[in-house]
Structure 1
Amino acid sequence: MGQEQTYGRRPRRGRTVLITLVVLLLVLVGLLAVADRVAAGVAERAIADQVSQEVSNQGAQASSPDVEVGGFPFLTQVLDGRYERITIGLRDVRGSVQGDAVALPTLDVDARDVSAPLDVIRSGQGEIVAETVTGTGTVTYDSLAALLDREGLTLGERDGRLAVTAPVDILGQRLTVVGTADVNVSDQGQVSLQFNDLSAEGLPNVPLARNLLNNYARSISIDVPLPELPFELTVREVRPLPEGLQVTANARDVPINSAG
């Protein structure tokens, strides 16, 4: 009988040990996850400070950047000195351009395959280099209208195109001019607006009136003086959206921090 009772206890004791090991393993995994995120937070704050300095060095102004380090586990990336992805959110980005402030309420930067040795993050000495960087920002229509400097002129998006509405005096009549523009980007990243399709209800049907309207179209067709974007970003695409002109820019093999 004694032997039967002893044999009956062994499975329960084995289950207890197994449960204890599972609990310890879960606790260990939890501690590692917490340590991973704590380390990521430290790196994010350090990179954010250096990014702020880099933006300031380029003569731009922006709120403190929001930096997030992607990829898991983070600690292995720290040891390797390479990060899958670092995202940087800049808000209220402004740069002085010919006396006018061109505003980008948002500039979201996505840096991939980033080389950031631990001693660089810790000391701030050296460069954090991304193989590819893509930035997406928005130029407000109010900023563009201020550059055009025409009384009553408003800009917006209509059917995916940049649209204009403005009061214009033509041959003694105040007419409302409406139309759209072509938005072009050069190989060097220069953004230009070309207003070719303007009309005005009640426009006198005489050549002089049409010439005056064409002259107005030419006067508001400009190269947009964007501020120099951080991280050597070059504009590649511009799309009119309801909230403004969405600007997409990219760069390769560039530092995203201010090297000490």
Structure 2
Amino acid sequence: MRALRIILVVAVILGGLFVIADRVAVGFAEDEAANRIRTTEGLASTPDVSIEGFPFLTQALGGELDDVKIGIKDYEASTSGTNDTVSTIRIDDLNAEMHGVVFSGSYSTATATTATGTASITYAELLKAAKSETTEVTDGVTAQVVGLSDGGNGKIKVTVEATVLGTKVPEPISVLSSVSVEGDTVKVHADTLPNLGVDLAENTVRSVTDFEQKIDQLPGGIQLDKVVAAKGGVDISVKGSDIRLVG
């Protein structure tokens, strides 16, 4: 009986030591992965990396991790808008969960079989990236989008200022717009057209109210999936396959 108790005590101690060793190893791997992702993607700050699943050591020996979560606070993605100018747009809180991450023995490469995640872009950032300019919609009438905000029920409120025959319209004009994703492009499309005080063709007015913003070069080649209007900006779902994390 005493021998059995000794064996149990030893097993508990060895189990505890294994857990400690496993947690130390996973912590080291997370730090190493975060630094390599920062270098590969040219990030301004080190991302958060969390390797899920237990034990880590057996996953590492097999060369494949079940799940890896990555969080990037401020990511600068390259963009091109309606006017084809190329710039960057700041994406807040880009979080991705990578599944089936296969890596080389030297950890110089790592690729996820699939990935899903979320991100957000503030309305101010979206408007800035779109570079809305004053547009002459017809002789004597100019207009410009000056604000984007939450319109409720999944809509974006687009605020337009107009000038007619040199006189600025006293109050800004607002319309509710739908937002969607097509490929790597976010599109904003007015549900109804604003009344600028003169009769104008629909495509003429839409040259002011509607715009699109291309967002590419997301980390590892991850892609836009869905977008919805929210209180502080647009919330984006992302997804991808064969996502290159390192190398």
TM range (shorter): 0.7 to 0.9
**Structure 1 position 229 matched with structure 2 position 218:** yes
Q: Which one has the bigger helix percentage?
A: 1
SS at match of 2:243: strand
**Structure 1 position 184 matched with structure 2 position 180:** yes
The match for 1:93 is 75
Larger Rg computed on CA atoms: 1
SS at match of 2:23: helix
Q: How many residues align?
A: 228
Determine what percentage of the aligned residue pairs are the same residue: 25
TM-score normalised by length of structure 1: 0.78
Q: How large is the Cα RMSD of the aligned pairs?
A: 2.4
Which of 27, 31, 39 is the equivalent residue of 1:45?
Answer: 31
The match for 1:219 is 208
Give the drift of 1:141: 0.7
**Pairing of 1:1-260 with structure 2 (within 5 A):** 14=1, 16-56=2-42, 61-97=43-79, 98=85, 100-117=87-104, 119-121=105-107, 124=108, 127-146=109-128, 147-149=130-132, 150=144, 152-170=146-164, 172=167, 173-186=169-182, 188-199=183-194, 208=198, 210-211=199-200, 215-257=204-246, 259=247
Structure 2, unaligned stretches of length 5 or more?
80-84, 133-143
Give the drift of 1:36: 0.6
Distance 1:138 1:87, change over 3 A: same
Give the drift of 1:254: 2.8
Structure 1, unaligned stretches of length 5 or more?
1-13
TM-score normalised by length of structure 2: 0.81
Give the drift of 1:40: 0.7
Q: Which one has the bigger strand percentage?
A: 2
Q: Is the 8 A contact 1:234 1:250 kept in 2?
A: yes
